Amino acid sequence: MKNRFFCLLVLLILFQTTPFPYNAVLYNGTGASLQDKILAMTLAGIVNRDSARLYLLNVYETWSYNKTDETWRDIYRARGGVVYDSVQQMSALINKFRHLLNGAITYDPNRFYSNFSGQNFCWQAEAAAVIGSLTDRLPVTATYANTLGLQVSDSVLISDAFDSDSSIWVTGKVENPLNPWNQAGLTEEQRYFAYLDWGINRLLPRCNPDMFYLREYTDWASKNKMFQLNLAGTEDLNFNSLPVAKADLLERVLLYIQNKNPNRIFHIYGWMRPEPLTQWFAQFGSSFHETLLGNLSWHSSFPYPAHSFSRASVVAPDTLQLQNKYYIIFISTEGDASNWVFGLQSGAWLSPYRGQAAIGWGWNLHLLNQCPFVAGYYASTATAKDGFLSVTSPLGYAYPDLWGNNVLPDAIAKSRALMDSFYINNIYGYKHYCGSGSEVYRGKVINNSFNFSKYGQFQKNTGAHLTFLFDPLLATQTPNQSYGSLLFNHVNDNTFYSDVSNLNTTANRILTLLAGKQKPYFYLAGYQRFRQDDFTNRSDPGSSDISVQRLVQLQTLLKADAAIGADIEIVTPEVFSVLLRKKLGLTDAEEEIAGSGFALQQNYPNPFNESTIINYSISLPAGVDAPGGRGVSVKLKVYDLLGREAAALVNEAKPPGRYSVSFNAAAFPLSSGIYICKLTAGGKSQQIKMLYIK
């Protein structure tokens, strides 16, 4: 316990100490035109690449909470020491960063396209933004470029900043009638598709080879120099609402990025409609991330000191005792999406009632890892009742059972590292979707349910303690150990996006279900969207939405029940997982040594034929203080079976935290065989065996 409090104290000190002001520019885009907003996002991506220089206010705010930009602005002021130089006129903004710009890429502002009812975007502006992000130029109309004093050229040189593709000259004027997409007689769709065809051939090889962006352009796409397409179907769930011509273009990009990453997971950002096609994406080796909002370039570049993401809800298993109770958990949905990660959980995180009721907050660990200041804010402000879990996988909105064997080692190593970094061992895996049960989409088989054997093995290899699911093929509210790891399903029992508009009805539904169940009993009572306390004014209202304030009221109703209320305990995912595992007689190697001050995990992959990942954690056991604040002396070494040192991987003082080391055996003159990896910290040691096969 003392270790956890020490970590929290360090985090609080880091966040509350502002030794010097951090100067930045804030652009207030409230009421700005569409062309000013896409200009501002492209600019933010360019200038925020190596440090956070430009914060955008109300340029592209998350739909789920309309005070997102204002709230983060104030958090960075209070906890990051940021002093903003606010501007609202575009000319003033350009002058702040003119020295970092090469000019402009121009476009026709009248070229609009729509994928579905309610969407309408200027595709030439987005095309200009892609070219601009690759050349440090801004997308503007020709008239506006003259007004802002931005140089325009007929053609611009794009150099490949990522690999060995040659530099090329491309148009500096997207509206130029000589461009193939501007031929007379083409429909707007034919024009846009002609640009995309050209872009895939010419721009994509010079863009970021590890990721691409799907849907409306943002500063995140600009910062990372991603290729961008704005394609979608007309329906939310119907695979075939995405026309063949669009799917052809998307598949060309998927295949290109897949070939660039044959043994690694790559990332897609933006959004997909129809949503179930994320399963199609996964079979190319990708993970997906909803990122339809601005300021990710700022969040990801803001400096954050050495840190640990421990928090008050991390529990030591030996401090919990299983009792004859009804253990209930409520999980917040949408945690895989940036709208919830960066939208302060749709405002729910700001509730003064947070901490009065246990909640399982869902997170996209990949996005948190990209933005450590944001992750640190959540970790340092979490109460003991703010439990964390990963949704839908540590690597994002993905389906590990659909990943090929070629990318699985990379996915497992990265997932485990993320879980270790954020002290999160529990996952909500959501579900597959295929209304017909199973179908072949463009040569890929898509099912309505998980491949449980493959999924369970993946969870085991990542060290997941408990995985919640919503799947029609498993029994509801029943722990399942049949597939290599512990799964807990809830399905068709009114707990998935259930109607919680009437709290008395909801309480009665839960109490009726619990009555007569043999204790200890574990129950996932609700997978809900958590929203701001100002419930009547929330955006996109729904009957499955609940606020923290209303969850506290629901908990009060449950506890007040004369028959079983005294035996009901609402818990976090951390507590739920530990106690359920105790009921089932399950242990975890890391849990067993939690009080020793360190933990060395089995390397992965093992056996290995070149490199392997070794994860370990360092904490401060009760009664031990870090000497002079320097941390704990750590040694991580590899020995052969005769005790001879083969490699020294770590030999330094380390602050409390979780670490990952890559051991490349091929870099040492080692023969095939068994090797001992030994971790020494705080006067104690632990070792594992590793099998190296050349």
β-strand partners of 637: 648, 678
pLDDT tens digits for 82-121? Answer: 999 999 999 999 999 999 999 999 999 999 999 999 999 9
Whether 549 is in a domain gets the answer: yes
C-alpha span between 269 and 290 (Å, rounded)? 6
Residue 504 corresponds to which tokens in the numbers above?
């008395």
**Residue 115, C-beta contacts closer than 8 angstroms, at least 6 positions apart:** 230, 231, 232, 233, 234, 273
Question: Both 184 and 262 in a single domain?
Answer: yes
The CA-based diameter of the chain, rounded to the nearest angstrom, is: 79
**Residue 290, C-beta contacts closer than 8 angstroms, at least 6 positions apart:** 270, 271, 336, 337, 338, 339, 397
The listed range with the strongest mean pLDDT (15-19, 336-340, 465-469) is 465-469
Whether 315 is in a domain gets the answer: no
Residue 533 corresponds to which tokens in the numbers above?
């306390």
Question: Both 625 and 571 in a single domain?
Answer: no
**Continuous segment of H or E residues that includes residue 692:** strand 684-692
pLDDT at 4: 43
Question: Both 47 and 193 in a single domain?
Answer: yes
C-alpha span between 126 and 330 (Å, rounded)? 41
* pLDDT band at 597; cut points 50, 70, 90: low
Query: Closest Cα partner for 110 from 121, 102, 94?
Result: 121
Question: Both 478 and 619 in a single domain?
Answer: no
**Is 50 exceeded by the pLDDT of residue 14?**
no
Whether 590 is in a domain gets the answer: no
**Continuous segment of H or E residues that includes residue 35:** helix 34-47
pLDDT at 588: 54
Question: Both 427 and 280 in a single domain?
Answer: no
Residue 442 corresponds to which tokens in the numbers above?
């463009």
C-alpha span between 270 and 214 (Å, rounded)? 5
β-strand partners of 548: none
Number of separate domains in the chain: 3
Query: Closest Cα partner for 62 from 367, 360, 387?
Result: 367
C-alpha span between 195 and 189 (Å, rounded)? 10
317-350 residues labelled b (16+ CB within 10 A) or e (exposed): beeeeeeebbbbbbbbbbbbbbbbbbbbbbbbbb
Question: Both 539 and 599 in a single domain?
Answer: no
* pLDDT band at 20; cut points 50, 70, 90: low
Q: Contact 362/428 with Cβ under 8 angstroms?
A: yes
Question: Both 112 and 31 in a single domain?
Answer: yes
Domain boundary among 541, 564, 584: 584
Domain boundary among 540, 557, 584: 584
Whether 306 is in a domain gets the answer: no
Whether 310 is in a domain gets the answer: no
Question: Both 39 and 136 in a single domain?
Answer: yes
What is the pTM for the complete model shown? 0.84
pLDDT tens digits for 53-65? Answer: 999 999 999 999 9
Q: Where are the beta strands (DSSP E) in 353-429?
A: 359-363, 386-391, 426-428
**Is 50 exceeded by the pLDDT of residue 8?**
no
C-alpha span between 428 and 387 (Å, rounded)? 13
Give CA 518 to chain center in angstroms. Answer: 38
Q: At residue 188, what is the residue type?
A: E
C-alpha span between 471 and 474 (Å, rounded)? 6
**Is 80 exceeded by the pLDDT of residue 390?**
yes
Query: What integer is the mean pLDDT of 391-420?
Result: 94
Whether 2 is in a domain gets the answer: no
C-alpha span between 266 and 487 (Å, rounded)? 27
**Is 70 exceeded by the pLDDT of residue 2?**
no
C-alpha span between 509 and 558 (Å, rounded)? 10
DSSP 385: T
| Crossing angle (nearest 10°) for helices 123-135 and 34-47 | 20
Question: Both 149 and 177 in a single domain?
Answer: yes
Whether 322 is in a domain gets the answer: no
Question: Both 576 and 614 in a single domain?
Answer: no
Question: Both 381 and 462 in a single domain?
Answer: yes
C-alpha span between 634 and 681 (Å, rounded)? 5
β-strand partners of 468: 428, 488
C-alpha span between 454 and 484 (Å, rounded)? 9
**Is 80 exceeded by the pLDDT of residue 1?**
no
pLDDT at 57: 98
pLDDT tens digits for 137-182? Answer: 999 999 999 999 999 999 999 999 999 889 999 999 999 999 999 9
Query: What integer is the mean pLDDT of 32-44?
Result: 97
Whether 311 is in a domain gets the answer: no
pLDDT at 687: 85
For residue 515, give the CATH number of its domain: 3.20.20.490
With vertex at residue 156, the alpha carbon angle to CA 151 and CA 161, rounded to the nearest 5 degrees, is: 120
Q: Supply the range of the domain harboring residue 636.
A: 595-692
For residue 628, give the CATH number of its domain: 2.60.40.1930
Question: Both 619 and 563 in a single domain?
Answer: no
Domain boundary among 552, 584, 616: 584
